[in-house]
Structure 1
Amino acid sequence: MMMLWSSIAMGTINRTAGGLKRLSAINHIASQNSFNLILRFVALAVIDAFALWFVIRLTQDKNLPLAALIAATTVGINAFYLHPRMGPFRWFSPGLALMILMVLYPTLFTVYVAFTNWGTGNLLSKTQVIEQLESRLYAPEGSQSYQWTGFVNEAGEYKLWLISDDGSEAFLARPGEALIPAAEAHVGELDADGVPLSIEGFERIERNQVIRHISALGELTFGDEGRAVQVTNTTSAAELRPKFTYDAARDVIVDLETGKEFTPIDGTFTADDGEQLSPGFFVPVGFRNFNRLINSAALRGAFSQVFVWTFVHAIGAVFLQFVVGLGLALLLNDAQLPGMRYWRTLILIPYAVPTFISMIIWRGMFVPGQGIISTTLTDIFGSSPAWFGDGTWAKIGILIVQMWIGFPYMMLISLGALQSIPSDIYEAAKVDGANAIQRFFRMTLPLLLITLGPLLIASFAFNFNNFNIIRIYNQGGPPIAGAPIPTGQTDILISYTFRVAFSDGGSDFGFASTITIVIFIVVALVTLFNFRFTRAWEEAGENV
């Protein structure tokens, strides 16, 4: 009986202990979940606060499309993290948000800009241009001018003591208030020039301190609407009036000095006699930029040269890199080659050097009279090619540098692809009487292209837009004579776009965006075309 009760007691104790362990585990999981939930809410609160601040700033700057996109992205992130059924979306929501903001929006904005006249002279919105024009002032005929002395207090507020040029009048001026005649100003003792030594609560700005305050003073209007005075330089001030006003009902800018009216035409306020006000504002212009690219004879000539060279450069670079890389891979794939591992390591060294450093080194070696390549060729042949001054030799130099930079990568991937090809098929081909050349072109190359085809396409796309080599080697030079936009003989589309957008002669973002769209379409079409060839290579590989 005692044994029975002892067994029952022990079972009860074990069950109780097990229950306590399970309860402890449940409490631990619950506390862990609570901590994760709190951490999630804190992270979302920080993201939401930053996004809200960003949206408010963008709204104030009237950048409503980007503000709406950021707001929608933030709402989506909150939904992913708060809705239980959207849990899987949490893991790629950061990448999705970055893709929307860093890829999708810039792409859509570029397309929009391509259909506008956004560029030098038309960089602002219409509202901003109107605000600028209405802030301009002029001195009416017969208006009074003054010599001024400034006073400033600890809060950064200013007063001016104005003395007319003929010395007959003096006033105390404050922003937004009527001028106070000297007799009513109650400023205390004056110096020999008739300027107060001090004003209560304000410190006099001495002449050696004027430069420090001139910018702030120039933004203020002293006096009231009946008699407004502005500082014009470090010693003088004048009664000025608004020069322009905007008539919203008729959508015209009126020159209050001459009475002339300016109507907005293609983003510029223009008078009937052809006079234009600057700056202008950006407006949609339809397909004008595309029409300019296609129908302008001068632009078409330079652009066609750039377009052709872009393809030659991309295809030539990939071809040279692949040929040299594959040739070395075939040599290093021989297990009987002495020191094979050391040769592989040595050949990969150019791949380990940052590309821009390699570009600069090669550029230095091509420098006439100083570079080792130029001096060596001069010593042997008596002269050296104009690697930078002649368009043809500059292009050859770029392709040589491209080959050096890219062949280690091509060798590496080709070597891996070669080692994946079964040796049995070569033995069978030898039995059938195929020689080395036949085995390479009918077996090795088709099988390699199946594996390397996508990588070659990616290399083509990269070199198609390889801005760095063009910029570092010769900045696109030498120049094309007579080009309406400064254009170099070695410019490719992306560097040509850079010139259009950021050249010293002015920026034309609308036209640059048009060229960017052309680049996108060309790369997309070439990629699709090459993928079709990849399928053909796969079919050929199945028949090997």
Structure 2
Amino acid sequence: MPTSDASTVSTPWLKWFILALVSLIGGYAVVLMYAKGESSFALLTLILVTAGVIIFARKETYAHRYIYPGMAAVVLFIIFPLLYTVSIAFTNYSGSNQLSYERVQQQFLQRTFADDRYQFKFQIYHTDNDKVLLFFSQADKKLISEPVALDQNLQQVSLQATDTPPTGNQAKLMVVTKNRNILSNLAVFTPDGTQLAMSGLRQFAAKTPLYTLAADGESLVNQQTNEQIKPNFDIGFYQAVNPTGEFVGKPMAPGFVVSAGWFNFERILTDEGIQGPFIKIFIWTVIFAGLTVVFTLAVGMVLASVVQWEGLKGKAVYRMLLILPYAVPAFISILIFKGLFNQSFGEINQVIEGLFGIRINWFTDPILAKTMILIVNTWLGYPYIMILCMGLLKSIPADLYEASAIDGANPIQNFFKITFPLMIKPLTPLLIASFAFNFNNFVLIQLLTNGAPDIIGSSTPAGHTDLLVSYTYRIAFEGGGGQDFGLASAIATLIFLMVGGLALLNLKASKNQLA
């Protein structure tokens, strides 16, 4: 009994200690992320930690502790990425517009230039005590340092005026090269307090800020040319302005992220370099997903009917062999097929060339490349359909086949009059799910063709065999017109709407099956 009472008393303290610890860690993470400018992630962390603490702390909500981990995972891995992607679709976020306006302005203010008034030739002279003298000279000015040791402890040096160069042996260029890291990090101060930094193997110069901030807090003035630049919040770049304040210069990198409204969606519909490839890729994506479902259904259902045939001997062996492609990891099968279809050394082309004397351009001809993809994907997908059909065939009453035999029906008539109608209805939700999966079959395209052959005239990376999902990936992460995260997010949003519609259709079809 004392042990039971002790555990009863200690448990609430343990719970409150864990909740307090989680709150402290979560609060620290929120502050840290917010300080680094990651306000979205800070807000997400705050919501999840606060909800978890409330659920586990209050008796009224304690029963929800079982579903909280699942709901938190849904918010963290589904809802938040979706909302974040949609929000990016309404910005100009890209490879050249990644930073905030404040960080871009700070980068401009940190730029420096070599002031001609403070450019000095630099020489090193050895002294008798293993130290050196640093000598700086201009046409009418000579400066020298105290004897110093060239080691990692040397951080800064102060100079004083002199009339003549120092006596002693001048160090060779090899000494400067050997100690370049030390000299590059060395702060040298002239008698008037100007700081010099190494700008060449034989030269030091003052680093003067290239831009100064104007009174309005936004404009920057170039100290070399007196040119004024201002942030253009319509395009997310600094640009030069004329005396009337109109933008006249070219955009100056780096750019900053600004709201773009519906601009990215309008580009998909109006920009010919995007609209044409997008429509082609969308049509191909629908055809690819649809034909994949048709071909895998046809092959899988026929093979399932064959291996379930009572008169077939060795059915178990055939079933095992036909299901093997489903057991092999897809990426291995895809890479093997990529080698088999190789235009120069692939076994498929060698056999075709030996039999018919022709060499097929599987990867360079758009139609042949798409044909190859459908062949490979049918091979990868038919075992799944076959397994489903084998189970469904067991549920068809044998009396129907006996009655059809009495009526004189042949096996083909049995298939189309009995087997197919009774199997297609329960298969419908699974076929819709298969269509949705192949609609976003990124791995197949990426490993087999990487979208090739390319679409000529596209302003973004796009290929004839790209699906919408691989097209989006290439826009977001490939160079040469890629790294346009805003446009990629807009396309990803459209893909979500399409796949979401398929999901609703699937739910409706499943509901009808249950009814």
Match among 247, 252, 256 for residue 277 of structure 1? 252
Going from structure 1 to structure 2, the CA distance change for 1:69 and 1:104 (only over 3 Å counts) comes to: same
Query: Residue 497 of structure 1 contacts residue 515 of structure 1 at CA under 8 Å; is this kept in 2?
Result: yes
Going from structure 1 to structure 2, the CA distance change for 1:224 and 1:54 (only over 3 Å counts) comes to: farther
Using the TM superposition, name which of 299-308 and 93-102 deviates more: 93-102
Q: Partner of 1:353 in structure 2?
A: 328
For structure 2, which runs of at least 5 residues remain unmatched after alignment? 125-132, 242-247
One-letter code aligned to 1:314? A
Deviations 1:60-89 (A, max 9, x none): 211112102101211111122222222222
Deviations 1:32-59 (A, max 9, x none): 5567656645654554444334223211
Going from structure 1 to structure 2, the CA distance change for 1:397 and 1:83 (only over 3 Å counts) comes to: same
Deviations 1:428-477 (A, max 9, x none): 66667776555544543343233322222221111111111111111110
1:102 partner SS? helix
Query: Residue 446 of structure 1 contacts residue 537 of structure 1 at CA under 8 Å; is this kept in 2?
Result: no
Going from structure 1 to structure 2, the CA distance change for 1:242 and 1:168 (only over 3 Å counts) comes to: same
Q: Partner of 1:249 in structure 2?
A: 216
One-letter code aligned to 2:47? A
Q: Partner of 1:73 in structure 2?
A: 48
Query: Residue 88 of structure 2 contacts residue 486 of structure 2 at CA under 8 Å; is this kept in 1?
Result: yes
Q: Partner of 1:192 in structure 2?
A: 169
Q: Partner of 1:523 in structure 2?
A: 499
Q: Partner of 1:498 in structure 2?
A: 473
Give, in angstroms, the shift of residue 302 of structure 1.
Answer: 1.3
Match among 92, 114, 132 for residue 117 of structure 1? 92
Match among 82, 95, 102 for residue 70 of structure 2? 95
For structure 1, which runs of at least 5 residues remain unmatched after alignment? 1-22, 150-159, 184-188, 196-204, 540-544
Give, in angstroms, the shift of residue 214 of structure 1.
Answer: 6.8
Going from structure 1 to structure 2, the CA distance change for 1:30 and 1:339 (only over 3 Å counts) comes to: farther
1:344 aligns to 2:319 (yes or no): yes
CA distance in 2, matches of 1:331, 1:405: 19
Structure 2 counterparts to residues 15-34 of structure 1, below 5 A:
23=1, 27-31=2-6
Query: Residue 210 of structure 1 contacts residue 234 of structure 1 at CA under 8 Å; is this kept in 2?
Result: no
Q: Partner of 1:168 in structure 2?
A: 142
Query: Residue 117 of structure 1 contacts residue 510 of structure 1 at CA under 8 Å; is this kept in 2?
Result: yes
Give, in angstroms, the shift of residue 253 of structure 1.
Answer: 1.8
Query: Residue 130 of structure 1 contacts residue 246 of structure 1 at CA under 8 Å; is this kept in 2?
Result: no
1:387 partner SS? coil
Query: Residue 175 of structure 1 contacts residue 222 of structure 1 at CA under 8 Å; is this kept in 2?
Result: no
Q: Partner of 1:181 in structure 2?
A: 160
Structure 2 counterparts to residues 98-497 of structure 1, below 5 A:
98-147=73-122, 161=134, 163-165=136-138, 168-171=142-145, 179-181=158-160, 192-193=169-170, 207=176, 209-210=178-179, 212-213=181-182, 217=185, 227-247=194-214, 249=216, 251-265=218-232, 266-272=235-241, 273-427=248-402, 436-437=411-412, 439-497=414-472
Across the two proteins, how many residue pairs are aligned to each other? 490
What is the TM-score normalised by the length of structure 2? 0.85
Going from structure 1 to structure 2, the CA distance change for 1:120 and 1:369 (only over 3 Å counts) comes to: closer
Deviations 1:338-365 (A, max 9, x none): 1222221221111111100000001111
Using the TM superposition, name which of 511-520 and 326-335 deviates more: 326-335
Going from structure 1 to structure 2, the CA distance change for 1:532 and 1:426 (only over 3 Å counts) comes to: farther
Give, in angstroms, the shift of residue 496 of structure 1.
Answer: 0.8
1:142 partner SS? strand
Q: Partner of 1:17 in structure 2?
A: none
One-letter code aligned to 1:270? Q
One-letter code aligned to 2:490? T
What is the TM-score normalised by the length of structure 1? 0.80
Query: Residue 214 of structure 1 contacts residue 234 of structure 1 at CA under 8 Å; is this kept in 2?
Result: no
Using the TM superposition, name which of 463-472 and 253-262 deviates more: 253-262
Larger radius of gyration: 1
Going from structure 1 to structure 2, the CA distance change for 1:35 and 1:312 (only over 3 Å counts) comes to: farther
Query: Residue 161 of structure 2 contacts residue 191 of structure 2 at CA under 8 Å; is this kept in 1?
Result: no
CA distance in 1, matches of 2:216, 2:308: 80
Q: Identity, % of aligned pairs?
A: 33
Deviations 1:102-160 (A, max 9, x none): 222211111111111111221111011011000001123433335277xxxxxxxxxx9
CA distance in 2, matches of 1:175, 1:131: 29
